């Protein structure tokens, strides 16, 4: 295979998608685009808005209205990008437990998905991109030449998330994180629109026993 213009990486929460994709994108000189950030930004705006979760048209209108910008990092605090919502830096505000707990139900809303998918597809079609999410290979960029589905057991994913939070100095409880991950898996995989699943032509990689380097190398083997 020639060097693919688009590489999609889908998979469940904390499967290592973003870390793998960021390294791969740097090595290829491609844009790293984590679409989960957009659903998190909508969730953050929703939590601030006072809207009720049942107000799907209100939340969809909010998603249509908001301007989410993903830019190269301007602060040296381990962030991969600056995430801006209508000009406000929300890079870390979208990584809180409160956002974790609400993001899956918000991503189920059809109007939210429509607004996000349109913007994601526009960026993806420009090429030279490693795009990460749940439905990139199946819905957002089904024509991408290389599609990866990165999986890992819920326990390994919960441990990784726990370590990440501890490293940032946040409080963390492993059992609570594990339960949260299982809940999100359940919602993300069973929703009607664009559920989490591998595209028919996706390469499935289980990262339980692999390092980030090994996963990146397995992906690169496909076109090296």
Kindly list the residues in this chain that would bind ligand DC in the complex (CB under 6 A): 13, 35-36, 39-40, 103-104, 107, 133-136, 184, 188
Q: What is the DSSP string of 44-112?
A: HHHHHHT--TT-HHHHHHHHHH--EEEE---S-SS-SSEEEETTEE-TTGGGSHHHHHHHHHHHT-HHH
Min CB(32)–ligand DC separation in Å: 13
Closer CB to ligand DC, 4 or 180, in the complex: 180
Q: List Cβ<8 Å contacts ≥24 apart for 67-75.
A: 68/37, 68/38, 68/41, 68/119, 70/33, 70/34, 70/37
Closer CB to ligand DC, 2 or 200, in the complex: 200
Closer CB to ligand DC, 19 or 107, in the complex: 107
Nearest partner of 108 among 183, 34, 6, judged by Cα: 183
Closer CB to ligand DC, 3 or 182, in the complex: 182
Q: Give CA–CA dist 197/11, Å, rounded.
A: 7
Min CB(188)–ligand DC separation in Å: 5
Closer CB to ligand DC, 168 or 223, in the complex: 168
Nearest partner of 197 among 12, 19, 15, 37, judged by Cα: 12
Closer CB to ligand DC, 26 or 189, in the complex: 189
DSSP run (H or E) holding 204: strand 203-206
Task: Tell me which residue has tokens 């929460």.
Answer: 13
Min CB(224)–ligand DC separation in Å: 27
Min CB(124)–ligand DC separation in Å: 11
Min CB(86)–ligand DC separation in Å: 20
Min CB(26)–ligand DC separation in Å: 19
């Amino acid at each position: 295979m020639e060097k693919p213009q688009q590489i999609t990486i889908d998979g469940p929460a904390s499967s290592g998608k973003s870390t793998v994709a960021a390294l791969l994108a740097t090595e290829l000189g491609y844009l790293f685009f984590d679409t989960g950030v957009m659903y998190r930004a909508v969730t953050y705006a929703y939590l601030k808005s006072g809207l009720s979760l049942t107000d799907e048209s209100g939340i969809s209108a909010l998603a249509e209205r908001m301007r989410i910008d993903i830019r190269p990092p301007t602060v040296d605090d381990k962030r991969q990008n600056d995430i801006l919502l209508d000009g406000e830096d929300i890079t870390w505000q979208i990584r809180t437990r409160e956002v974790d707990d609400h993001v899956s139900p918000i991503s189920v809303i059809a109007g939210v998905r429509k607004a996000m998918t349109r913007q994601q597809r526009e960026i993806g079609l420009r090429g030279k991109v490693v795009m990460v999410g749940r439905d990139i290979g199946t819905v957002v960029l089904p024509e991408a030449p290389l599609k990866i589905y990165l999986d890992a057991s819920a326990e390994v994913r919960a441990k990784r998330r726990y370590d990440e939070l501890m490293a940032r100095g946040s409080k963390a409880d492993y059992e609570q994180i594990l339960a949260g991950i299982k809940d999100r898996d359940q919602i993300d995989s069973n929703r009607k629109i664009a559920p989490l699943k591998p595209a028919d032509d996706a390469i499935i990689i289980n990262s339980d026993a692999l390092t980030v380097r090994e996963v990146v190398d397995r992906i690169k083997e496909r076109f090296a």
